[in-house]
Amino acid sequence: MAEAIRFNLRKIGKGLGPKGSGDAVPAVIDSSLTPEEVLQGAVHAVLLTDSSGRILAASEAAARMLGYGRDELVSHNLADVVARMDEVKIGLAVKAYEAGQQVAFDAVACRRDGAMIPCECDLYRISSQKQGPKQLYFLLTREGLEGRADSGDVMDAKLMRAERLEMAGTLAGQIAHDFNNLLTPLLAYPDLIRRELPAGSSVLEYIDIMEKTASDMSRLTQQLLSLARRGHVGDEEVDVNSVVEQVVKLLQAATAPGITISMELADNLLPVRGGKDQLRRVVENLCQNAVDAMDENGCLMVRTENIYLDAPIGQYETVNLGEYVKISVSDTGAGIPPEIREQIFDPFFTTKRGGKVRGSGLGLSIVHGIIRDHKGYIDLETAVGKGSAFYVYLPVYRSAKPKVEGMDLPRGNESVLVVDDDELQVNILVSLLQALGYKAMGVSGGEECVRMLRGEGYRFDLIILDMVLDGGMDGLETFEAIRKVVPQQKVILVSGFSKMARSVAKAQELGAGAYLRKPLTVERVARAVRDAIEETPKPQGGRAADRKGKRILIVDDEQMIRKLFSMIIMTENPDVVIDQACNGQEAVRAFEEGHHDLVVMDLQMPVQDGREAFVSISKLCASKRWPVPSVIFCSGFSPPASLTAIVGDGSVHCLLRKPVKADVFLAAIRKRLGS
């Protein structure tokens, strides 16, 4: 970490490190000083906060930079003086810091007089004997932007764009308000006039036209109000799948015959909270834009899935960690040129020829505003000539009382302990387990879990353990400590972090049970808990081959390829058992011992090639009455004609050409494992 810190200790203040320490700021600074003493003599703009962002002290330079007195700053929160730096983003920064990443990001400081100052923000951690274990030390400097080409221009452009969007929204809201007042009589009077006219009057046709035009204008003002984000964000539980189905059904009836619209909707999709009509408008706009981009021919695909965000996405520098519903809308249209990509969410920007629809240019601005109001994110992938894909992430809504009544779920009355540093996740799982009849309780860290087992003598039929625990022992360390106290303790693992595959695999080698990836659904938790409780306990240090789960055999004469394929598979399937063989003969012996669910087989190998090995495995299965496993053949050479009959339509076996892209390889794995 030391080489990642760019500021001189003596420039920042006195007494921040041990005597005789070097110039670099240490990763964690031990101090027995009060916050005021820590910042005495600091020459840079420094703010000292607690873990929630409450300012505990400020340097004189920070006070001058922000236009406050030092005492005044102490009554504020970091979010008051650094734009959009709320408690969630502070928590994310701390997690990144503790994961060994340098935390230094572009920011915008907000002066007391309203001026916005582009700057750089660096985070340090102080462990103070006088002020508690979690104090955060933020250094603001404009110097960090110097020496980087166009950095000032980039920051100014971001600020100008944000101001432009805000101004457009305010103006749109004022216009819409006035329009609605003016439209009221135009919508009300036509019906009254009809009553005064005789049946069959030629004037009735004009009245109908006036009424329809006024209705169209009213819809346009609703778009303006959406742009201004003055509409109330709904507070209902929304099933995104039903919203997508409704939009697609209406769109299919009005779309050119040459355009194919498909859906892949996730089973057990978690609900979100917000406005159903507003979210329908998001899907409508994205789908209609996709259709318009394809003219008369093409494919539109809408997908939904549960996902756990554990890292920033797309253009976002920070995201709130947690559970989301992801909506993907992709097309095979012309794509978006790079020169206009940054403008597509601007109000009134459009590429539609001749303005196909009144209000063109508002759609994506409205989408952006609605998603932001719902605390979500939107991302884009596009390439000219290859189409576009928009990804919407909406926070999952977890009700206080899980809905389990009437659901055909396994239940029980055993004792279960939930270990997770996220209080919300603990409450969710404990409430769910209690609704299923279990005696459940939760703790926020590994140390507390081990203390309950060792010092207080608690015993549980099952422990549900998060693999990422902040501020102490991580999940793997906790599991190892649990097994030392209770050697036969049953444990299932959960995590939303994709990078925990190695830790999960290690824990399972030591005897841990199933692994559940966040976000969790009621059904997955209920069945995993029941399966784990009823399963025979796994001994400590048990062989990986004894673990419950799918088995994959990787066969290739290149060790590097075997290792690469194993790593790719483990990123999505950390609970699988992977065996390896370097030729066809070894593959047949390994399969006879392991009876694998899937084989990844190179074609060109010494001793026995992949096709011959497949024939031998098929004969072995016939003799033992085993099902023939699915096989993913991989080759950089042209396959023999005899392989065509084996692969067939690709539903069971398939052929991938080397070099294989990771996403293509994982898609083939998913299809054949049913995950």
* Per-residue pLDDT tens over the stretch 584-601: 888 998 898 888 889 999
Give the mean pLDDT of 210-239: 66
End-to-end CA distance of the chain: 38
Average pLDDT over the chain, rounded to whole?
76
Cα torsion angle, 244, 250, 253, 257, sign: negative
User: Is the pLDDT confidence value at 19 over 70?
Assistant: no
Closest C-alpha among 437, 468, 403 to residue 270: 403
463: left (phi over 0), alpha (psi -120 to 50) or beta: beta
* Per-residue confidence (pLDDT) for residue 222, from 0 to 100: 60
* Per-residue confidence (pLDDT) for residue 537, from 0 to 100: 60
Residues 478-506: pLDDT tens digits? 999 999 999 999 999 988 765 566 788 78
Closest C-alpha among 658, 631, 434 to residue 525: 434
Distance CA 191, CA 291 (A): 36
User: Is the pLDDT confidence value at 245 over 50?
Assistant: yes
Quote the percentage of the chain above a pLDDT of 70. 73
Give residue 363's pLDDT band: very low, low, confident or very high (50, 70, 90): low
Closest C-alpha among 583, 429, 598, 454 to residue 516: 429
Residues 268-293: pLDDT tens digits? 888 998 888 889 888 988 998 888 88
Spell out the domains of the chain, with CATH numbers in brackets.
Answer: 2-148 (3.30.450.20), 154-228 (1.10.287.130), 236-395 (3.30.565.10), 415-544 (3.40.50.2300), 549-673 (3.40.50.2300)
User: Is the pLDDT confidence value at 231 over 70?
Assistant: no
Residues 431-479: pLDDT tens digits? 889 989 999 999 989 999 999 999 888 999 999 999 888 778 889 999 9
Out of 505-509, 517-521, 610-614, 634-638, the most confident range is 610-614
Distance CA 385, CA 487 (A): 59
Quote the percentage of the chain above a pLDDT of 90. 17
Q: Name the phi and psi angles at 301, rounded to 5.
A: -120, 130
Which CA distances in Å does 600 have to 391, 468, 655?
Answer: 32, 31, 10
Characterize 550-587 residue by residue with b for buried, 16 or more Cβ atoms within 10 angstroms of its Cβ, and e for exposed: bbbbbbbbeeebbebbbebbbebbbbbbbbbbbbbbbb
Lowest-confidence segment of 22-36, 62-76, 470-484 by average pLDDT: 22-36
In 437-570, at which residue ranges do the beta strands (DSSP E only) sit?
439-443, 462-466, 491-495, 515-517, 551-555
| Residue 55 contacts residue 78 (beta carbons within 8 Å) | yes
379 pairs with which residues across the strands? Answer: 391
